[in-house]
Each structure stands twice: as structure tokens, then as C-alpha cells.
Amino acid sequence: MTRFVLKRIAVMPLLLLGVVTIAFVISRLLPANPIAAIVGQRNLGNEAIVAAAERKWGLDQPLIVQYFNYIGNLFRGDLGTSFVTKSPVLSDLADRLPATLELALMALVIGAVGGVILGVVSASRKDKFADHLSRLFALVGSSLPIFWTGLLFLFVFYAQLGIAPSPGRLSSRVVPPPHVTGFYTVDALVAGNPALFWDAFSHLLLPAFIMGWGLMGTISRLVRASMLDELGADYVRTVRAKGVSEGQLMRGHVLRNSLTPVVTVLGFAFGALLMGAVLVETIFSWNGIGSYAVEATRALDYPAINGVSLLGGAVFLLANLATDVTYAVVDPRVRLV
Amino acid sequence: MNVRRPRRIAWKAAIATAAVAVLALTACSTGAATVADGERQLVIARAMDVSTLDPQRGYCDTCQIVLSALYETVVTVDPEDTTKILPRLATEWTNNEDYTSFTFILDPEATFADGSAVEAADVKWTFERLLNLQGSASFLMAGLASIDTPDATTVTVNFSAPNSAFLAIVAAPYTGIVNSELAEENGASAAADAATADVSEDWFLQNSAGSGPYTLAGYEAGQSVELTRSDEYWGAAPTFPSVLINEVTDSSSQLQQLQQGDVDIAMQVSSDSIEQLAGNADVTTELVDSFNYIYLEFAPGAVGGEVLDDPRVREAIKYAIDYDKVIDATVGGNGKTQGSPIPNGFEGSEDQVLPEYNVEKAKELLAEAGLADGFTLPAAYPKFAVYGVDFDVMMQSIQQDLVEVGITLELQPLEYTQWAEILGTDGSPLTAVYFAPDHTDSSQYVSYFGMVPSGAWSETASVAGPVTNQAEVEGLATALTQSGADRAATYTELGKEMASDLIILPIVNPQLVLAYASDVTGVEYSPCCNLDLAALGLK
């Protein structure tokens, strides 16, 4: 397995170079003017200001020169400076990644735990009311658009009922914990501040639930189908004949065997959650990678677009690798070569 | 075969999950989190447009709010009478008869946040840097010839041509005086090659170097700007120890957060919100006049715009628009029409003829122009929603009106950068744009909208090429040698001249909704800086 992992890691730089090249070319082909975002609409006709901005940001160079400059800088760990934030893209990504990771991980936990619970309930009470209810809940989660559920939940639970916290990572006037990991929940615990932990944790719940709800539906359907298959298998009858309790049978045999396909879904889902947090981050004022990507695209912020593409590519490659490895660990029949 | 279900496992897990969720929500709703101790922090919700916090590079509405709290200008304007100049860093000022030389005497008590004195050299350095950076606001120093600093508190600014607008210009936040020594230590430059030599923009994102009542405590792009009261402030200390401006893009989210008490001021709630907030004693709402407006721009010189070269066609379009309907559709009726590119309330806006909705007159003009059967006109515009006006709604409303006179408007809503690309290539025969003032002198409107060499829209104002209206060129030059009633009269004539060019057609001058916690005082629309943070207080 070590050889397999090393081989996959070795080809990653090449694949990422491809990702960056494609992002570079596509962003340059768009019929749009990035200088507009830099100098502002009122200065578009001012040749001196436009020329100065083009010089400053290297946009006066031929495209091929810009490309090789970018790749050269990339090898030195310089992802360029964002046209919009005026900060190095690397530091922008480093600032925002923990926010998105924290949200995506929470969404993954909610989606996975909720999905498995719903799947178990459905399978164990097949065709009963609990099964129908659980399947309906999963179906709704998978079907409703995130922007709609996000706005609706905010309106109901925050604006009307006042039981959910405000959008954002912390409540208004709350001072963030000292930076250690960038995960506010973890940093609050490190700082020994449980009140701050609860504040950060409660702010995660609603957006993470909305992100994880769709995944919950996928996993619950998967678990339900797998468990029903397993429950019909010969070994289940044998286990029961040996007098093993129903709880032990479910926990130790049926559920465990049913979770193997879930691992595959989780790997891909994490990558998708991480890079697909755009809408939730926008609705919940979450300053993560998703909202950064949106702003970069709208302003045609070339360095930021390339940086986000690079990060997205890396996330998916690593998620795929992690999925393959986990699959082999969970299922001994799988061999990685 | 009957299968016994592991009911207990599933329900235990479900109950545990629900318990965690309830606990978390309860913890939040009981306000158990750590907050800034002591005095109350002012929290503002705003869709921010910050791209830099460098005072000489900044150029945005949010920049005006933040920069005016961090950096003080040499003079300021009276909020009650925008033509009246008041002291700030300078205690007195004079100008020569032809407005080519201005002398400021600085207050010897004025200090920067680090305790060092504000000196004439800092003023000279700031103005020269503003010019030499070749940034978005560099035009404010156009015509600057030299700056003399005979002593530490005296500055004389000389221009190559009369510039009676200068006192209004140096009240604009982009001219806020910077601690030159501190800024230079961090990569700033005012030299002629500052456009490339100055590498301080990143530093200014996390630091400030002004003499204002606040200093910059932190900035997270796309998230928040935080200001802290300056301990060394030489003037009257502001009420709030710190101000946090949070990025809240959506106006309904701003409204919700204001209703829930999570923010003190919501800066861009829609006019519909006024009704929703009626009866809420914790929140105050006000409608105030603004100097902002949204306009249509005609470009006969753009590809497909040839038909607009005939002034009668432009006039027909002007008559064909039902302005009241557009204002109702966009800002719920809380807006005004405007007679010329000089906005209501500015010098020269008096006696302008407001646009009139007259379909018959429009048809008559089109018939005279030989276009009684109508025509099709492409209209690319940016998908903006500014000052409460959604451009999509506005353009769709205008599209419906123009159908009545046989004109088919082909709407092309675009992202801003795509729209800019079109303007820079083929152009768009008709487009929609917005304008907010940079300072309080009317010259900016003639310089930008007039058919003058600096005019933004004169290049495409005719099929024949760039247009120059000599009356406007001379009128602007005259206005810059005048003051008082003479200058107001000149701007009135210039307003009429620009209205008759009919390249710019103002559609709506929206009122602003001020929505804030009822115990906050001093929330006013400021002509220099949108919102004067230092003037805010508590009941």
C-alpha cells in the first residue's frame, strides 16, 4: 500500500500543474476585463490609470510571459497577489481554509451520523411509518436547493423564533479566540474558554446541517439498501442461530458490513463539501473558500481564481487517495497496487 | 421471517444528537460567550466594497466611511450646508484671487495616533503621493503645480490653473493626511515614481497612520473592518471604544440582524423594510435625501447605436420613460427625478427641468426622425444593485415603457467585468450606471459627464467621434475661478447644457434608508463620508 500511496503522491504535482494551466487559460479566455475591478468603473476611460494598473499587476505582459511568470512564482511558493483583497493569495487561502474545513467537517459529521441513523431506522423498520418518515426526510434534504433552505431556516430559526444564532462564525461583539488552528471551536477549547466554544459550535450547526442534509439523504439510502441486503444473507441466519443478540448482530455484523460503501461516498463528499460551500458561505456570511471563490470569479481576480483551482484540485486528489486507502483498510479484500 | 430491530441503538443516537444541538443553541441564546468587556462596541452591517485601506489608493463608499475615521483632512464640510468649509487639521486657510494658490495653517495641537505632530511636510507628502500613485482618486490632484512648506504648520498648494473646487476636494476622505515618516518606514512613497515604487498597500490593510479619532484594529477581506478609539486623539474622543463593520451582503440579512439586536446600524436595508420595522421601538428608521443617482448613458458611437446620433431619438426615449413607475418599482417610490447630471442639492441643480413622461411627444419625435415604425436597441448593463436600486428591475421597467413607442430594448445583464469589457470594445448603445460624489463641488459632474476632454462619455457621444462642447469647456474653466452665487449660476447653466447634450439621462435619485438601534444617536448621511463614525453616540 505504501508504494501505491507514494506513486499517487508523486503524480500529484503534474496533475496540479494541469489544473492550474487549464484554470489560467480559461480565465484568460473569458470576455471580461479584470482591470475594471481594480481601477473602478469611473476610471475605465482614464488611460494613465489603466496603464499604471496593468503595469503594476503584470497584465501588460504577453499572455505566455504571464503564464511562465506565474508558474515560476508557483514553484517558489508564491501564488500571486489578489486583485481584490490586495493580499498574497496563499495567505488569503490559509486564512479562509480553516473556516471552510471546520464547516465541511461538521457537515460531514452531521451528514454521516444522521445518514447512518436514518438508514438503520429505515432498514430495521422497513415499510413502517419510521421508514417512510426517514426516507421522506432524506428525500427532502437531497432535493431542496441549498440557497432556499438556507434562507428559509435563517428566517424561521433566527429572525422569527430567535433560537438560532446570527449568520457568521461567532455572535456579534464576540472576540475570536487566539489563532492556533483557525478552527474557532478548537481554538476556543485550547484557550480554555467553553463559552466561546459553545458560541462557535452553535454557529456551525445550522449551516453545517444545511450542507450535510443532502449527504444525509445519500448515506441513509445507501445504508438502508446495504443493510437490507445483509439482513438477507446466510451468515445473519447463522449468527442468529448461534444465539447472538439482535443488538450485537446489528452492531457487530450487519451495520459494519453495510458501511463499506459509505466510506467511498464520504471521501468524495468531503471534497465536494469543501469546494461546494459557496452558497452556504454566502448566505451565512462565512468567510471561507467558497465566498472567496465567488468574489474572485466575479471580479475576474486571476491569481485568486488560479489559487482556488489549485486548492480544489489538491483537495480532490487527496480525498480520492484517502478514499482508496480507507477502502482498503475497511475491506481486506481490496488490494492497492 | 421477522427481524427484530435495533431500536434502542438508533434512538439513543438520535436523542444524543438532538441533545447536543439543543445544548449548543441554548448556550448561544443565553449569551454565554465572551464579549469585549466594558463599553459597548458599535456594530454595523454593510455590504462592503473595500478593495484597499490605503487612503490614497482607496476609492469606494465604504472607504469613505473608514478612511474619514482614521485619517483627518485639512478641512471638512458643514453637514448642514455643503458649500460651507469648516476647520479640521487646519485652523485657517486663504486663497489668492484667481484660485491658483491655497495656504493652510495647521493646528499646532494636531497629532497622529503615535503622538507625533501633524506637520506641513505630511500634508505635502500626502497630496504628492495621491497624485503620483496614479490611483483611482489621483484625479483629485489634477493640475497640482507645487507645494511649499515655509514652516512646520504652513502649507501652500499651487495649481497651474484656477481650481476653486480645491477646498471641497481637500475635505474628501482620499486626501486624509498620512503620517509620512511612519508610512515611508513601511514602504510608502510620494515620489514621482510612486506608482511602482510604493509597496505599502499590504501594510495599510492592517495598519493605519492617521490623526483621526480611530485607528485600524483589523481587517479581514470579505468579513469585517474593526476600528479602535485612538488613545492619543487630539480632539474630542468619540463615544464608542470600537467600531466593527461586518460584511453582510444581503439587505434582508441586515434587516434581520438589526431586528435581533445583533447590529446597531444596518446600512443598506431596502425601503420596503420601513414598513416591516414600523412599531418596533428598538429600531429607528429614517428616509433621507442623498446625492447618489442611477442614470442611462446613450452611446451613438457604439456599435449598433447609430440611431441615437439623432438628438430627437434620445429625446424621444427621455419622454417615453415613466419615471414615477420606475421609482416605484425600484425604491418603492422613495426617490426623486433629476434634471441634469448635477444631483439634487448640489450647486447648479436649481432651476433644472425635470424629465417628463409623455408618450405622445415621444412618438411625435420618433416620427420626425423617420422612426415611427420603431427600432431595436441593444442595452448591456452591469447586474448592480446599488443604493437600493436593482438594475434588472429598473431596466425591465424601462424596457416595458419603450415598447409603447415601438422601441425594443434588447437587455443584456452582465457581470461587471464582462460589461466593462464590452464598453472597452464595441461599446453598448444604451447602458445603466450609478454615480456618488467624491466631494461637494459640482465641478466633478462637469468634468465627468460634460462633453469636455476629461469627460468619461464624450468619446462615444457621436457617430463622428469624440464630442467637445465648447460652452461646457469654457463654463467649467469659468466656474473654477468663481465662488458663491456666481459659481452657482455658472453651474446651473452647465447643468442645462449637459441636460441638452442628452448623453446622460438620470433616472432615479434614491433616498437612503437609515436604520439603526433606537439608542444610537448621530446617524446621519454625511456628504463627505457617508457616515461620520466619530459623530455617533448613545442616548
For residues A224 and B143, give the distance between their C-alpha atoms in angstroms, rounded to a whole number: 76
Q: Of A2-6, A327-331, B250-254, which range is least confident?
A: A327-331
> B95 — phi, psi (to 5°)?
-140, 160
Residue B444 falls in which region: left (phi positive, over 0), alpha (psi -120 to 50) or beta: alpha
DSSP string across B429-463 = SEEEEEE--SSS-THHHHHHHSSSTT-SSSTTSST
Pairing outcome for strands B42-46 and B242-247: parallel
User: Smallest Cβ distance to B456: which of A42, A92, A121?
Assistant: A42
* Amino acid A257: pLDDT: 82
Collapse the DSSP code of B525 into the 3-class scheme (helix H, G, I; strand E, B; otherwise coil) and give the result: coil
Among B179, B143, B177, smallest CA distance to B163 is for: B143
Chain A neighbors of B23, CB-CB under 8 A: 198
List the grid coordinates of A66.
504571464
Within 10 Å of residue B58's Cβ, how many Cβ atoms? 23
Kindly determine whether residue A282 and residue B59, on different chains, have CB atoms separated by under 8 Å. no
* Amino acid A114: pLDDT: 93
CA B271 to chain centroid: 19
Kindly determine whether residue A32 and residue B247, on different chains, have CB atoms separated by under 8 Å. no
Hey, do B31-245+514-538 and B293-510 end up sharing a CATH topology, with the first three levels equal?
no
Kindly determine whether residue A45 and residue B456, on different chains, have CB atoms separated by under 8 Å. yes
* CB neighbour burial string for A261-290, b if at least 16 within 10 angstroms, e if fewer: bbbebbbebbbbbbbbbbbbbbbbbbbbbb
Distances in Å between the alpha carbon of A141 and those of A46, A103, A114, A134? 51, 18, 11, 11
Distances in Å between the alpha carbon of A72 and those of A61, A65, A80, A83? 15, 10, 11, 19
Longest dimension (CA), chain B: 106
Query: What are the sequence ranges of the domains in chain B?
Result: 31-245+514-538, 293-510
Within 10 Å of residue B493's Cβ, how many Cβ atoms? 16
DSSP string across B326-376 = HHHHHHTT-EE--SSSSPTTSTT-TTPPPP---HHHHHHHHHHTT-TT-EE
Q: What angle do CA A270, A273, A276 make, to 5 degrees?
A: 145
- B20's CB contacts (< 8 A; 6+ apart) are none
Residues forming a β-bridge with B512: B288
* Amino acid A335: pLDDT: 67
Q: Does B203 touch chain A (CB under 8 A)?
A: no
Kindly determine whether residue A165 and residue B29, on different chains, have CB atoms separated by under 8 Å. yes
* Amino acid A337: pLDDT: 63
Decide if domain B31-245+514-538 falls under CATH 3.40.190.10. Answer: yes
Kindly determine whether residue A120 and residue B6, on different chains, have CB atoms separated by under 8 Å. yes
CA B215 to chain centroid: 22
In terms of Cβ atoms closer than 10 Å to its own Cβ (0-12, 13-18, 19+), residue B264 is: buried
For residues B313 and B300, give the distance between their C-alpha atoms in angstroms, rounded to a whole number: 10
Sole residue written with cell 439587505: B251
> Do residues B334 and B287 lie in contact, with contact meaning Cβ atoms separated by under 8 Å?
yes
Mutate one of A38, A42, A78 to test the B interface: name it (highest B CB count within 10 A). Answer: A42
> Do residues B83 and B440 lie in contact, with contact meaning Cβ atoms separated by under 8 Å?
yes
Q: How many CA within 13 A on the CB side of residue B416?
A: 22
User: For every one of its 539 residues, what pLDDT tens digit does chain B have, with 9 covering 90 and above?
Assistant: 343 444 444 445 554 555 445 444 444 444 434 444 568 899 999 998 888 999 999 988 999 999 999 999 999 999 888 889 999 999 999 999 999 999 999 999 999 999 999 999 999 999 999 999 998 899 999 999 999 999 999 999 999 999 999 999 999 999 999 999 999 999 999 999 999 999 999 999 999 999 999 999 999 888 899 999 999 899 999 999 999 999 998 888 899 999 999 999 999 998 888 888 888 899 999 999 999 999 999 999 999 999 999 999 999 999 999 999 999 999 999 999 999 999 999 999 988 999 999 999 999 999 999 999 999 999 999 999 899 999 999 999 999 999 999 999 999 999 999 999 999 889 999 999 999 999 999 999 999 999 999 899 999 999 999 999 999 999 999 999 999 999 999 999 999 999 999 999 999 999 999 999 999 999 998 877 889 999 999 98
Among B107, B137, B141, smallest CA distance to B125 is for: B141
- B286's CB contacts (< 8 A; 6+ apart) are B513, B514, B523
Within 10 Å of residue A85's Cβ, how many Cβ atoms? 27
User: Smallest Cβ distance to A173: which of B8, B36, B249?
Assistant: B36
Residues 284-313 of A with CB under 8 A from B: 285, 287, 291-292, 295, 298-300
Q: Does A172 touch chain B (CB under 8 A)?
A: yes
Residue with more model confidence, A160 or B474: B474
Question: What's domain A89-330's superfamily in CATH?
Answer: MetI-like (1.10.3720.10)
Q: What angle do CA B269, B275, B280 make, to 5 degrees?
A: 90
Residue A11, min C-alpha distance to chain B (Å): 34
Given the cut 0.85, state whether the ipTM is greater than it: no
Could you tell me which CATH number the domain at B293-510 has? 3.10.105.10
* CB neighbour burial string for B273-293, b if at least 16 within 10 angstroms, e if fewer: bbeebeeeeebbbebeebbbb
**What number of H helices and E strands is found in chain A?**
16, 0
Among B174, B176, B389, B181, smallest CA distance to B290 is for: B389
* Amino acid B37: pLDDT: 55
For residues A210 and A221, give the distance between their C-alpha atoms in angstroms, rounded to a whole number: 18
Radius of gyration (C-alpha) of chain B in whole angstroms? 26
* Amino acid B35: pLDDT: 44
In terms of Cβ atoms closer than 10 Å to its own Cβ (0-12, 13-18, 19+), residue B424 is: middle
Q: Is pLDDT of A190 > 50?
A: yes
**pLDDT category of residue A300 using cuts at 50, 70 and 90:** very high
Distances in Å between the alpha carbon of B129 and those of A234, B15, B111, B176, B206? 83, 64, 20, 11, 20
Chain B neighbors of A106, CB-CB under 8 A: none
Chain A neighbors of B415, CB-CB under 8 A: 32, 298
> A8 — phi, psi (to 5°)?
-65, -40
Kindly determine whether residue A87 and residue B202, on different chains, have CB atoms separated by under 8 Å. yes
For residues B450 and B501, give the distance between their C-alpha atoms in angstroms, rounded to a whole number: 8
Query: What are the sequence ranges of the domains in chain A?
Result: 2-75, 89-330
In terms of Cβ atoms closer than 10 Å to its own Cβ (0-12, 13-18, 19+), residue B311 is: middle
User: Smallest Cβ distance to B260: which of A159, A193, A250?
Assistant: A159
For residues A14 and A321, give the distance between their C-alpha atoms in angstroms, rounded to a whole number: 15
* Amino acid B23: pLDDT: 45
Sole residue written with cell 475570536: A176
Distances in Å between the alpha carbon of B435 and those of A337, B169, B439? 64, 17, 12
| Edge-to-edge strands, sheet with B430-435 | B335-336, B504-510, B293-298, B430-435, B375-382, B407-414
